[in-house]
Structures are given as C-alpha cells and as structure tokens.
Amino acid sequence: MAQNYIVRNLVRADAAVVDALAPLGVATVHESAGRTGLVSPAIVARQDNVAIAGSAVTVSSHPGDNLMIHAAVEVCQPGDILVVTTTSPSTDGMFGELLATSLMARGVRGLVTDAGVRDIAALRRIGFPVWSRAVHAQGTVKATGGSVNVPVVCAGQLVNPGDVIVADDDGVVRVPRAAADRVLTAANARTANEENKRADFASGTLGLDMYNLRSLLERLGVTYVDTLPDEER
Amino acid sequence: MAQNYIVRNLVRADAAVVDALAPLGVATVHESAGRTGLVSPAIVARQDNVAIAGSAVTVSSHPGDNLMIHAAVEVCQPGDILVVTTTSPSTDGMFGELLATSLMARGVRGLVTDAGVRDIAALRRIGFPVWSRAVHAQGTVKATGGSVNVPVVCAGQLVNPGDVIVADDDGVVRVPRAAADRVLTAANARTANEENKRADFASGTLGLDMYNLRSLLERLGVTYVDTLPDEER
Amino acid sequence: MAQNYIVRNLVRADAAVVDALAPLGVATVHESAGRTGLVSPAIVARQDNVAIAGSAVTVSSHPGDNLMIHAAVEVCQPGDILVVTTTSPSTDGMFGELLATSLMARGVRGLVTDAGVRDIAALRRIGFPVWSRAVHAQGTVKATGGSVNVPVVCAGQLVNPGDVIVADDDGVVRVPRAAADRVLTAANARTANEENKRADFASGTLGLDMYNLRSLLERLGVTYVDTLPDEER
Amino acid sequence: MAQNYIVRNLVRADAAVVDALAPLGVATVHESAGRTGLVSPAIVARQDNVAIAGSAVTVSSHPGDNLMIHAAVEVCQPGDILVVTTTSPSTDGMFGELLATSLMARGVRGLVTDAGVRDIAALRRIGFPVWSRAVHAQGTVKATGGSVNVPVVCAGQLVNPGDVIVADDDGVVRVPRAAADRVLTAANARTANEENKRADFASGTLGLDMYNLRSLLERLGVTYVDTLPDEER
Amino acid sequence: MAQNYIVRNLVRADAAVVDALAPLGVATVHESAGRTGLVSPAIVARQDNVAIAGSAVTVSSHPGDNLMIHAAVEVCQPGDILVVTTTSPSTDGMFGELLATSLMARGVRGLVTDAGVRDIAALRRIGFPVWSRAVHAQGTVKATGGSVNVPVVCAGQLVNPGDVIVADDDGVVRVPRAAADRVLTAANARTANEENKRADFASGTLGLDMYNLRSLLERLGVTYVDTLPDEER
Amino acid sequence: MAQNYIVRNLVRADAAVVDALAPLGVATVHESAGRTGLVSPAIVARQDNVAIAGSAVTVSSHPGDNLMIHAAVEVCQPGDILVVTTTSPSTDGMFGELLATSLMARGVRGLVTDAGVRDIAALRRIGFPVWSRAVHAQGTVKATGGSVNVPVVCAGQLVNPGDVIVADDDGVVRVPRAAADRVLTAANARTANEENKRADFASGTLGLDMYNLRSLLERLGVTYVDTLPDEER
C-alpha cells in the first residue's frame, strides 16, 4: 500500500488576491488563466447565487470512508476550501451538516468533492456552500487510511494543496498558487473589457463585427445564401 | 469537408400562433402534436417557472467552437429561439452573458443547446432563459466553420429552421412549422378538456372510471386479490 | 408472461411512527436503520425543502405505459406514498398534474419513481412532491398490464408494499414496515445525540477527538509531516 | 450499523434442474419466467460463448472492500455461482485470478458482480467466467464487515441466496428457487416451439402472419400507404 | 396520438453504388460525405470484422414493443438494412434470433438499433450482424402502434427511408440516398489517396510535413522548447 | 489563451525496467505502486490479450482537433506510448490507421486516449494496440493549438511526460518515472508471492486462513449463523 501522509503546512496565496478572485467568477478566472484549470461539469453547485474563493486543503480518501476528512479539519485555516477526492469513483455522502459545522468553526469557506454530500437542506440553511458529484445520504465508515494535502485529481483536474479554488454557480476552477497574482490581473482587465463589450452588445453591435469574424467566415468557405440549396436538404 | 452555409431567410410560423403556444406548455403541446417532437430529458431548463415559444434559428457548430453562434445572431429576429448543436458531443460553455445580451438586443427569447452554457447566475439575473445539456465554464475558440439555419438534430430531435420551439420547466418540444396551427387548435382543446378532468380528479373520480380502464385490466388478465399469493412472493 | 396482480390490502406501519420519521430526515433514518434502505442518488428530489414519510403503495409498470398508476390510485389511502417502477429502464413522463390531483384527493403524500415525471412546475405549484429519475414530458400509453402492491426494486432498493418511505432533499430511504418502530427509536436517539455533537463542533471540537480517531490514524500508518517528502511529489 | 451475518446453510434447487437451465439461455429462461428476473444490461459478460447456471451464493460488501468475498468462498459448494454486490456504487476490481482459482477449487461455476473485476485476460485463460459492471484493476482493502447469503439487489434485480442464476452472452437472469422446476418446463416447451418457428421464419413466413398481427395493426389504426403523405414529412 | 403509417414503397440507391460503399468503411465514407452522417458511438458493433452497406428500412416503435419490426419485415428487400428506433429511450431486447432468421430469409443484411438486442451468441453464429445500444434479454410486447419507413432519428442521426447505411467495426454512418453516388466517387478517391499516404507514413514521413502543418503551429503560437519552462509546471 | 509548448526532450525511465514491467500486468503494477496510478475504467482496451509498457509522450489537444498528435509524432522514440487528452470531454475519432502507421514507423508501442479512435479493425489487423474512451469515426480538424509533453490528466489520472505507462486487457496504469525501479522490484516480489498463493488456492486453502481474516470478521462483529434470523428477512 502507498504511504499516507497528513501534511500540516500549506503555502497559501496572498489572502487579498484570493479574496479578489471570488467576485470575478469561474468563467472569467478560467479564461484569464489561459482556459485552464476547470473541474468537470459533473461537479455541480448545490446552491444558487454563491461565489467563493479560497486556498485548497486537499483530501484523498478511500471510497466509502470519511476518516481523512476529519483529519483534514485540523489543518484548515480561515479562508480555506476543502477539496475531497476518493481513490476510486464513489457517490457516497461523505460530508454533511456536522462536518460543515466543524469547518465553519475554523473559517473554512466551502467544500468541493468528487463524491457525494448529504444533509443538503441543512447545508443551505446554515450557509455552507458545497460542490459535489452527487447528493446521497449513504453513510461512510472510518476504517482506511488516506492523505491530506497531497496533490489530487478532482473530477479531471489536478489540484495541489495551496492552489486557489474559485467556485460559483458555473462550477469550480483551480488556479495554481504561483499564478494567482497574474490571473487576478488578467481577470480584472478582462472584466473591465467585458463591461464595454456588454454595453456594445446591448446596443446592438454584432460579435461578427466586434471580433472581426466576417473575413474568417469567408476564409473558412462559409457561404451566405438566402435559402438552402436543394441538394443540401 | 461539408459545404457550410449561413441561410439568411427563414419562413416562420404565424406570430400569434407561436405566442399562443407558450402558456400551454411542453407536455400539452407534445401530446397535441401526436406525442412527437420532444427533445431528450438530458436537455435541462436552467431556471424555474419560465415558459416560452419562438421560431427556431438553428446552428451547427464544431465542438469547442462558438464562431457560428456569432454568425447566427445577425439572422435572428424578435420572437426567435436559438437552437445550437455541435457536430459531435460536447459540454463546453459555448454561450454566456455577452451572447445573451446580444440576443436580447435582437429580441430573441431564449437558447436551447445540446452543449453547455456558462455565466448561469448572470443569465438568470438578466432574464435570458436557457435549456442545455451542461453548465460548464469551459471556453471555446472561433476557428472552424459550421452552418446557420440548416436542419439539425438537437438531443435526439430533428429541428428545421423556422420550426416552433416550446420550452418550459419540463424541457423542450419542437412543432413543425406547418403543423403549428393544427397543434395549437388541438392543444387549446386539450387544455379545456383537462380543466374538466382536473376538477373531476380533485373531487375523487378515478382514472380507472374516467378512462374506462377496468375492462382493459380484465382483458389483460390483471387480477384483483386481497393479498399476494404465496408463490409470487 | 407473468401473472399480474392488484393487491387491495396493505398492512401499514403505525401512523404515528410514520409521521414521526418525516422530520428526522433521510440521512438520519438511513443511519438509524443500520445504513440500509437507500434508493440510488439517480432519484432526485424535484422540489426544495420538503420532507415526507408515508406507507409505500408499489406499482410495477411496463415502460412507456401508466395504466397501472391509475389502477394503484384506488388502493391508496391517506398517508401513503406511491412508488412506481418500470420493468425495464425508462425516463418517460408517466406522471403529471392530473394524476397528482387524483392522488391528493385521496390524501397521498408524494411520488417516488424510477422513471420520469412531467408538469413539474404545476406539481410544485400545487404542492405535490415528487422524486424521480428524470423530468420528461414524454407521453405514455395505457396498453399493457402490470402489478400493484407487489415487491419492487426501485433504483436499486427493494421496496415491499407497506414499507415506510422517507423522502427529503437528500433523496429517498425505505424502512421495512416491521422495523419502523425500532428505527424511530434509534433515529430519535441519534438526533438528540447529534444536537450535542453539533454544539461541540460549533465550539471547535475536532472529529479526531470526538470520535477518538488519532490512534486509528496511527494504527493505519498515516504519518504527520510538515511538508510532503520529495519522492512523493 | 446493521448487524452482519454469514449464513452457512443454503437451500438449493435440484441440481438436475439447474443444469438443464444452462443451455436454454438467458432470453428463453427470462421469457419462461414470465419476463421477470433480468439483471440490468450494465452487467456485461466478459467472455464470449459461455452459458452457465448455478445456485446463488450472495455477498453484500462495503465498496472498495473484498473481505466478504473471502468469507463467502467457504460456504460455496460445487455448482454455485457467486453474486457480489456493494452497499453503494463501485467499479473497483474486487475480484481477480486468485479468488477465481480459490472458487474453481470448490467447484464454483462463475461470478456475477455489480462492481468490477481484474486479471480479465487470466480469467479467460483459466476458464472462469465473469459478468461485471466494469473491468478495473483498482485494488480493494479488507477492513469493513458485510454479509454472505442474505437477500441482495444486484444491478436492479433482487437475488435471494439459493436462487438459480443463468448467465450467458446476453447477460444474467435470476429464477426464484421455488420456481426453477416450473420455469424449466416452460423453457423446454418454448425452446421446442422456437425450433418450429425458426424453420417457419427461415422458409419465409412472416411474423405478421405467424402471430396474427395484421388485425392488431388495423385495430391500432396503423395505416398502409405507398408513400408518406406530404404533411407527415 | 400521431397517425402511424407503414410505407410500402421505398426509393433505394443504385445497388452497385451501395455495394461499392461497404468495403470502403465507415470512417472513409463519413469523411467523403463531408464529415456528416455519423451515428453516436453509443451504438456499438456486436461482432468483429464485419462491414456492410444497404438501404435503410426505418422503424419507429413504442419502447418495450417490437410489433412494428414484424410489420417492417414484409417491406424489406434483399440488400436492405433495418434501422430501428424507439419513441423514447429504451434498452429492451427488441430483436433476436427469430427476427434475424426472418430478415435473412428476405435478404436483409443487418440491423442498426437505438435500443437492445438479444440472442447475441446465436446472431454471431448465424452471421446476422447487429449494431445496438445494448445487449439485453428483456422481452417486449406487441401492443402499441408505430411506423415503418418514416424519417427517424437514430442515436443522434436523421435517417430517411432509402438512405444508404454503412456499418462496420467503427460504427454506423448514413449517406443521403441522393448523395450516394457522389460520396462513392469521393470515397474511392480518398481511399486511393490514403494508399499513398500510408506508404509515406510507413516510410517515416511525418504528418507535420505531409499536411504542411509547421507553419500553422507557428501561426497559432505553439512554441518548441527543449524543456518545459518552470512557471508552466 | 494559455501558452502552448511542444517539449522536445523527454527524460525516460531505464528501458530494461520499462520492458520488464509489461508482462507483470496492470493489476500487479498498480498494487506494487501502492495502489496508485490507475486510469479510469472508462478507458477500454480495444483488443484482447495485449500487454505493453512504454514511456509516456503526452498530448493536450483542443476537442475535435488532432493537430497536436501530428506534432507529437516527431518527438516520439522507440519504446514510447502516446497519451492523448483533450481540454474538454470528447469522443471524436482523433486517431486512426494512418497515424498508427506513422507511430509504428517510429517504434511507438501503443496509444492511450481519453477521446475516441477509428479504423479499429485496421488497428487490430496491423497490430497497433489502443486504449480509448470510445470508438467513433468522427473526423477532426487541424485548427487549434495545444501542447506536447506537458503534464496532463488522462481519465482521472495525472500523467507526466516520461512516466511509465503499463497497459493490458485490464486497462492502463501510470508509474512515475522516478518510481519505476522501485515498483518493478516490488512487482517482481509480488508476482513470485502470487505463484505460491495461486498454488495454495488451487489446492483448496481459503483466503480466510491465508490472510488470517477470521479474527477480523469476529472483531467487526460479523456473525456466523446457520439460517438468517427472521427479523432480517
């Protein structure tokens, strides 16, 4: 079996940078990171109109076993987001209201998991946001070791401990810790630029003109016709 | 490669007919069209309590590429619904707030797509309804040609440009343009009839009696017993 | 073909016990039943913040055919929950507003189905809760026999007629009728116990200490380190 | 937690009946059992041209844990088939060449599992047939209790210990022990009847005539036309 | 309900053209048709090393009901391929050895279905090739009407009666009847061209040079480096 | 957009170590690597009875675009295995006989891809093994940049360029380059040990005794009974 570790120390991104990424949203941050870092759309926001950012504390658990989530709580700090994966696919409800209460007591901002959550109505009521593959009440045991704060793959995306996680209604994106500053700058610029574009679009400007796409269509051989030729029907 | 076309002209159904179909809802319209036209349940309403109808402007895109959506905006008119498909399966977020703003400026009523959307919180906020296979922030390029206003298959359903699309919380149904009038008449009749049935059901009448099903059960050999015979346990 | 039966008589659990299970919720009831009885997470609550419990009236239908749901209505009593399965996988909308109206007239509390439902906005409006595999408007016929109040498998879970069904935002759990009393006692105890735990977690106590997990981690060979060893990166 | 049991004694169907069911095949046995008992098509034969029948020894395991398979081996007898389920969905490779060797030493005829298998090339080489949801090498632990020879639900189908399992290239069907005799008689009759039908079909007789379906089509309003009416295109 | 039709007459493509398409294979035919016409990869060849082409006789069935397949047999001619869809998703085994025997007696070359097949070992033994979504022994009834030789959507692809179907180990492609001649010409040219390319590739020529892609990579800003820059790790 | 790179130089594991891993197989290598490194079971061997090992050359492609596979061929060396991922989910047939011919000319041993392949019959005929998510003939373009020899996530598993890939009928496992030597030693030991176990199992020894599991079952409270207690039925 693999050696399992609980890594106590985590290098986090600058708190001001992390906090500034939250309101920019997943789509903008993903674009500003060069279209990298997105978690699979199988991981779904379990509440509406919530946008958070935080530093990833990662957990690798045996399926059907939430022992390592308990171990992870102790190394969390205010501003963190817990990222939980299993060593093979699982939809079990590894996480519920009690663990959320425990994490909220430590200032943790939310949970992203490749598996399932339960007590979903209570989680919404107490305001602890979660992104998960499933909602399932299936109970788990505490019997098999795993690791905390090692690199994990969560729903198709590599997450290193200390990476910045941004999550909103669109899903979840990971920004490498070292890139957080650069991505924030790019995202702020993009957001400013989008304000202008939004105004232009609202006033009727077409994307074809805004992005100069007419010549591209022509170069690609896309043909304007009034009606579809018969042989194409 | 296939020749790609942008077809400018669209024959639409009568606007009054289209508008009258919206409040009748997907289930009633589907029944009134002879139980035809339903899009797969994999295409999900991304907001609650919205019912629209409009004329289909269709888009066939390369996966991961939203160039042709921009091309389609120009041929849209007030009352249209954009129907976007990809030439192979994709969950990429081809559509977001900026394109919605552009479509709203042209009076388009909503989007139905076999792929993904993003900026979902913003779309709800600005009131542009979408039905999609996924919510994913994944960015797309503008590099490969496709077509606008050609027949497409969207999530298992053939949609011709100019067909009437009805969409609500139950999903999406397509009515052939030429059948819109006939389907509206049938749907109105059905709705009136359902009012009566609803009252009957509410007062305790059984479907067994309303639909005269007791003799059918008997003919099918379904047997009433007080308790299940032992050999069937 | 199999002989099909409609079983009229149903032995139900004590109504007071059933009613007391509803507010305890699916996760607690599942735990209190020894982590048994959960329906698959593919069966999703189609409304928020609803928790019900009732006695199962079961239906086994041919796919694409809702004849037996109509037959089942007659044998329902106040406090029942209808559990509908198909003999092979189906997402058809076998159930909608009219059938809900009929069931409400008989005091039925909700529907759990391995297939699809439609009129979902209306179902929310009239307050009839449903848990289903799909939302689809696809119409069904009334042509093939099936059974009412026989044992069924619903989304991976055996349900006998008269079993107690508890359903909330987390999903659906089944409690064998004969175990309802014992499960209620255990669930009440568990809920009381969780109140204390919640307070402890809120005040900062760790699960590691509350559940005495530190020695387990040690026995499993999970190692605390300050930083991850190089060879594990 | 639930009490877990290993049940030593199993009432099996008559060996001659079990053996006679194997060559009749899954489709015929399923029909002869009144179209009941089929396991989901998600459970796939992992070898070609194998047909077996045997008595079910059932296993309920924690996901990611094959402890109870080892416990089950001891209670197996020649002619049995092991049926393994997990308490929540799992694709882990709980079973491979060593366990197959152990089961072959006891005369067990095959494995049906709702989870995964590994060493698939070796299993084919040594001639131990398996039906599984997945092929995955993922290793499992031996840490959590489960049960042997209790009723289980395997891929949507209830299986009681001692039931007859028939498995071939088409999948897996379960026959209740008490019905095995009756189903064999029906299956033999059906097979004889199919011989005649096959000859008739081969000589050009149509199913429309053989099953007398022309009047049914007429009664259902299905209309013969030479070409499709224009309004239906 | 929709009016259902059995359309007796079918305009087929030239037999010589159809026959010439079979050995060219699905991938080549798909490319030669402008990358159109592919059925979803969910439809899987159920045998190895078989390539066929034929004229589509289409069937639209109610799920769980194979009545219309029997009706379709009568209108099939030598060289046809049966294309079976259901009006909503189904994996039932609508088709098995007896129907295959009947179709073989009429010279039909194979079956493509959006649903399930059974008797798969026998189908391979008698040499009747099938492409299907599932292998499942689940029996079907003959109770509800449908249509023969109307346009259908099969696994995401529109198929009109009389279209040419080409199917091999890669899957299934549809060629519009009117395009068959043109596609054959293009496919023959492509095949000849691929012979040359294959020889070039085998002798070590790179696609980068053969397709002149080096300048494209440069234009796209793809950069050659000896080792990955640190900030990208 | 992200900067894209083609990294020319690859540090590979010792060729003798790589070659020695192939016959040990995926399950044994996975266990010997501490149960780490397995690719998802969604990635399926497209041929039987093939076991290979090689050094990973990685490709990150835009979906529907195989430009970067062509770029990767040039940096491949004898003994390599190509590992192809897309930046969002895709089942397109990015790879077929011509690219296989090109790779075979360079001594590449096989392909592992998170997307689709085509020409599958030809690939089997020429003996180039592939592991893929899908078989689909869908054609791809060459229009958008990507990267070669950067870290990728392939079906849930991180793969760094130069890692050792082992693939057989069970699927695909990745061994970090630096761990290859250590894993080979462990795998050889495990294989020797399994020989003994296999003989013991074949002679009737139970896993319960071999692994000393009887006391564990007792400690877990698993109870042996002759028949299941009534209250558990």
Mutation choice for E interface testing from C86, C88, C141 by most E CBs within 10 A: C88
List CB contacts (< 8 A) between D66 and chain A. none
- Residue A1 confidence (pLDDT): 52
Q: Which residue of D has its CA nearest to F33?
A: D139
Cross-chain Cβ contact D34/C1 below 8 Å: yes
Judged against a pLDDT cut of 90, whether residue D2 lies above it is answered with no
D residues 176-205 lying closer than 8 A (beta carbon) to B: 178-179
Strand-pair partners of F111: F82, F130
List CB contacts (< 8 A) between A97 and chain C. 198
Compute the distance between CA of residue F21 and CA of residue F186 in angstroms, rounded to an integer. 11
- Residue A3 confidence (pLDDT): 87
Which chains contact F through at least 3 pairs of Cβ atoms less than 8 Å apart? A, B, C, D, E
- Residue E233 confidence (pLDDT): 67
Strand-pair partners of F167: F52, F172
Cross-chain Cβ contact C2/D34 below 8 Å: yes
User: Which two structure tokens, joined as six digits, stand for C72?
Assistant: 């089942």
Position F161 confidence tier, pLDDT thresholds 50, 70, 90: very high
Cross-chain Cβ contact E92/C88 below 8 Å: yes
List CB contacts (< 8 A) between A141 and chain D. 62, 143-144
pLDDT in tens, B89-105: 999 999 999 999 999 99
Judged against a pLDDT cut of 80, whether residue D91 lies above it is answered with yes
Mean pLDDT, rounded, for F195-203:
96
Mean pLDDT, rounded, for B141-147:
97
User: Which two structure tokens, joined as six digits, stand for A152?
Assistant: 């994990």
Residue entry with tokens 């899954």: D26
D33 and chain B in contact, CB less than 8 A? no
Cross-chain Cβ contact F88/B136 below 8 Å: yes
- Residue C233 confidence (pLDDT): 67
User: Which two structure tokens, joined as six digits, stand for C70?
Assistant: 């109509």
Which chains contact B through at least 3 pairs of Cβ atoms less than 8 Å apart? A, C, D, E, F
Mean pLDDT of chain D: 97
* Beta carbons of A116 and A93 less than 8 angstroms apart: yes
Compute the distance between CA of residue D32 and CA of residue D39 in angstroms, rounded to an integer. 15
A153 and chain E in contact, CB less than 8 A? no
List CB contacts (< 8 A) between D201 and chain E. 98-99, 101-102, 105
Specify the higher pLDDT residue, E19 or B232: E19
- How does DSSP assign B21-61, residue by residue? HGGG-HHHHHHHTTS--BPPTTSEESSSS--EEEEEEEEEE
Query: How far off is chain C from D173, nearest CA to CA, in Å?
Result: 13
Per-residue DSSP letter, A140: -
List CB contacts (< 8 A) between B178 and chain D. 231
Query: How far off is chain D from B83, nearest CA to CA, in Å?
Result: 21
* Beta carbons of A194 and A210 less than 8 angstroms apart: no
List CB contacts (< 8 A) between F201 and chain D. 98-99, 101-102, 105
**Among A155, A116, A111, CA closest to C41:** A116
User: Which two structure tokens, joined as six digits, stand for E225?
Assistant: 């480096």
CB pairs under 8 A between A and F: 31
Query: How far off is chain A from D93, nearest CA to CA, in Å?
Result: 10
D67 and chain F in contact, CB less than 8 A? yes
Nearest to B202 among C70, C101, C124 (CB): C101
User: Which two structure tokens, joined as six digits, stand for B231?
Assistant: 């050999």
Query: How far off is chain B from D34, nearest CA to CA, in Å?
Result: 11
Q: Residue D121's Cα: distance from chain center in Å?
A: 21
* Beta carbons of C168 and C5 less than 8 angstroms apart: no
Ranges of H-type helices in chain C: 15-21, 26-32, 67-73, 97-105, 120-126, 180-202, 207-210, 214-219
Which chains contact C through at least 3 pairs of Cβ atoms less than 8 Å apart? A, B, D, E, F
B49 and chain C in contact, CB less than 8 A? yes
Nearest to D121 among F41, F169, F216 (CB): F169
In C67-205, the DSSP E strands lie at: 80-86, 93-95, 110-117, 130-135, 147-148, 152-154, 157-159, 164-168, 171-175
- Residue F231 confidence (pLDDT): 72
Nearest to D153 among C3, C35, C157 (CB): C157
Cross-chain Cβ contact C169/A120 below 8 Å: yes
User: Which two structure tokens, joined as six digits, stand for C43?
Assistant: 């069966």
F4 and chain A in contact, CB less than 8 A? no
B90 and chain F in contact, CB less than 8 A? yes
Q: Residue B99's Cα: distance from chain center in Å?
A: 20
Compute the distance between CA of residue D124 and CA of residue D107 in angstroms, rounded to an integer. 17
List CB contacts (< 8 A) between B136 and chain F. 88
List CB contacts (< 8 A) between D48 and chain E. 121, 124
Nearest to D217 among E9, E105, E145 (CB): E145
A231 and chain E in contact, CB less than 8 A? yes
A222 and chain B in contact, CB less than 8 A? yes
Q: Which residue of E has its CA nearest to B62?
A: E35
| Ramachandran angles phi, psi of E201, nearest 5° | -60, -45
List CB contacts (< 8 A) between D178 and chain B. 231
Q: Length of chain B, please?
A: 233
User: Which two structure tokens, joined as six digits, stand for A4?
Assistant: 């399992």
Q: What proportion of chain D, given as a percentage, has pLDDT over 90? A: 97
* Beta carbons of D175 and D30 less than 8 angstroms apart: no
- Residue B233 confidence (pLDDT): 66
Q: Interface pTM (ipTM) of the complex? A: 0.96
User: How do the pLDDT tens digits run along chain E, 233 residues long?
Assistant: 568 999 999 999 999 999 999 999 999 999 999 999 999 999 999 999 999 999 999 999 999 999 999 999 999 999 999 999 999 999 999 999 999 999 999 999 999 999 999 999 999 999 999 999 999 999 999 999 999 999 999 999 999 999 999 999 999 999 999 999 999 999 999 999 999 999 999 999 999 999 999 999 999 999 999 999 877 76
Cross-chain Cβ contact A138/D90 below 8 Å: no
Q: Which residue of F has its CA nearest to A154?
A: F156
- Residue E230 confidence (pLDDT): 78
- Residue E3 confidence (pLDDT): 87
pLDDT in tens, C126-171: 999 999 999 999 999 999 999 999 999 999 999 999 999 999 999 9
Q: What proportion of chain B, given as a percentage, has pLDDT over 90? A: 97
B74 and chain A in contact, CB less than 8 A? yes
Cross-chain Cβ contact D89/A87 below 8 Å: no
A223 and chain B in contact, CB less than 8 A? yes
Nearest to E9 among D171, D227, D229 (CB): D227
Terminal-residue alpha carbon distance, chain A: 60
A142 and chain F in contact, CB less than 8 A? no
Mean pLDDT, rounded, for D160-184:
98
Predicted TM-score (pTM) of this structure? 0.97
* Beta carbons of F84 and F132 less than 8 angstroms apart: no
Q: Which residues of chain A have a pLDDT value below 50? A: none
Q: Which residue of B has its CA nearest to D178?
A: B231
Mutation choice for B interface testing from A190, A193, A228, A231 by most B CBs within 10 A: A228
Beta-carbon contacts of C136 under 8 Å, excluding residues fewer than 6 positions away, are: B38, B41, B170, B171, C91, C92, C93, C116, C117, C118, E88
- Residue B67 confidence (pLDDT): 98
Q: Which residue of B has its CA nearest to C117?
A: B170
- Residue F3 confidence (pLDDT): 87
D82 and chain F in contact, CB less than 8 A? no
Helix (H) or strand (E) holding E103: helix E97-105
What three-state secondary structure class fits C132? Answer: strand
List CB contacts (< 8 A) between F145 and chain E. 217, 220-222
Mutation choice for D interface testing from E120, E150, E158 by most D CBs within 10 A: E120
Judged against a pLDDT cut of 60, whether residue B88 lies above it is answered with yes
List CB contacts (< 8 A) between B67 and chain A. 213, 216-217
Judged against a pLDDT cut of 80, whether residue C1 lies above it is answered with no
Query: How far off is chain B from C139, nearest CA to CA, in Å?
Result: 6
